[in-house]
Amino acid sequence: MDYSDGERINRYLDTRNATHLQGVALYGYTGGRRDDRDDKPEGFPGMENPAFRQAFVGEEHRFLAALRSLNETRPAETPRLHWFGFDISLFPSVGYEEARSVLDQHSQDLMVQEILRRLNRVAGESRIEEAQRLEKLLEFLAAKSQGVEKILGEGDARRLRRTVRQLAGTYRFCEAAKEGPRTMKWLHGLRDREAGMASLMDEMLADLPSDAKVILMGHNLHLSKDSEEITVRPIGSPAPTMWTSVGTHLARRYPEEIYSIWMLYDHGRHGTVLSPAGVEDLDSNPAAVEHLMAKAGSIFVLQLTSGDKRGPLHNEKCNFLQNGSIGSGLLPAQADAVFFVREVTEPRGQWTSGHSSTRSSPRSSN
């Protein structure tokens, strides 16, 4: 999810106030959206399916409630879990509210008034024009960085920059994705999106203590350790290679500190935002490595970085399922371990009390 949604979830974990979750755009909050333009990128129809959205949000709330419980039961004097978003937003809106929440408390200051003027939306502007306006605001914030930090404080000045930058990146991606998946514009948009994630991660990691531990969650390809060696069609057919994933970027910067775990599954019902139904049936594919893994057990963890390396899994490229499609590559080059489930189920969480859910499955995929 994007930085601004992540800020709201972090407040929920900090305060235990579930109303913060009601302001998350990815979960359905619509405040702050433009009324003169629809900015939803094409290609994610599952998010418009009410049944899928309810199940998806229910599963998310269940997970966040579990993280909140971990915070509440942690040993005394230990730091709490924090949450952050580092992607673009499928529903660009919350960023403006987050930026104004930083600025409004200093609205009497002349420099802040100038920032607000530059932040304000312009009627009739295109997505690219909006991105360019926000990028010019970033240049202004950089040129006036000392004054901005003096007024806002270092933390809020940083929060403002990150919010504005992700808004600009989101509008550029929405423009690239307006014709839907499988186009060259879409692929270029995905590449730029990934670069933006890597840039934000660099900035956020630089702000953390040297002994801090970070867990990133995302689809496997985002967290691959050598993504440029992955192709996105089966072995033996013409296939484009991946770009540099955020996982690869970090693995190259911190080669001794990254441990990557992929989740693979053989068959079942796959929750996906790429299908109008929000779910699709997947059969076992004899050409994929998951079909072989299914013969070994129904659920297990397979470590790839130790043990006997003479087998084909360690020495030969293989096909593997990725978000309903097929990727190919040398698996141990991409992940240190695999969590495997033979049969997967779609998200089935139910919305209750605004912050938790029932009927959820520990083997859900979204």
The Cα–Cα gap between 22 and 8 comes to 9
The Cα–Cα gap between 146 and 11 comes to 27
How many Cα atoms sit within 13 Å of 6 on the Cβ side?
18
User: The CATH number of 221-344 is which of 3.90.226.10, 3.40.1660.10, 3.40.50.720, 3.40.190.10?
Assistant: 3.40.1660.10
The Cα–Cα gap between 180 and 47 comes to 14
- Which amino acid is located at 203 in the chain? E
CB 247 within 8 A of CB 20: no
Residue 242 — pLDDT band, cuts 50, 70, 90? confident
Q: What is the pLDDT of residue 359?
A: 36
The Cα–Cα gap between 89 and 179 comes to 17
The Cα–Cα gap between 51 and 278 comes to 8
Query: Which distant-in-sequence residues (6+ apart) come within 8 Å of 323 by Cβ?
Result: 219, 221, 272, 274
Of 305 and 13, which is predicted with more confidence?
A: 13
φ/ψ of residue 191, rounded to 5? -65, -45
Q: Which of 172, 182, 186 is nearest to 88 (CA)?
A: 172
pLDDT for residue 366 is more than 70 = no
The Cα–Cα gap between 196 and 214 comes to 18
Compute CA 283 distance to the chain's CA centroid, rounded to the nearest angstrom. 27
User: What are the sequence ranges of the domains in the chain?
Assistant: 3-212, 221-344
Query: Which distant-in-sequence residues (6+ apart) come within 8 Å of 260 by Cβ?
Result: 223, 224, 225, 247, 251, 334, 335, 336, 337
Q: What is the pLDDT of residue 236?
A: 59
pLDDT average, residue stretch 70-93 = 90
Q: How many CB atoms lie within 10 A of CB 344?
A: 20
- What DSSP element (H or E) covers 320? strand 318-322
Q: Which of 260, 148, 246 is nearest to 205 (CA)?
A: 246
Residue 234 — pLDDT band, cuts 50, 70, 90? low
Burial class (CB in 10 A: 0-12, 13-18, 19+), 56: buried
Q: How many CB atoms lie within 10 A of CB 337?
A: 16
Model pTM score: 0.87
Q: What is the pLDDT of residue 143?
A: 97
CB 293 within 8 A of CB 340: yes
Q: Where are the alpha helices (DSSP H) in the chain?
A: 3-15, 50-72, 94-103, 110-119, 127-143, 145-152, 154-176, 184-206, 246-253, 289-293, 312-315, 331-334
pLDDT average, residue stretch 267-292 = 89
Q: What is the pLDDT of residue 362?
A: 40
The 3 state secondary structure assigned to 231-290 is ECCCCCCCCCECCCCHHHHHHHHCCCCCCCEEEEEEEEEEECCCCCCCEEEECCCCCEHH
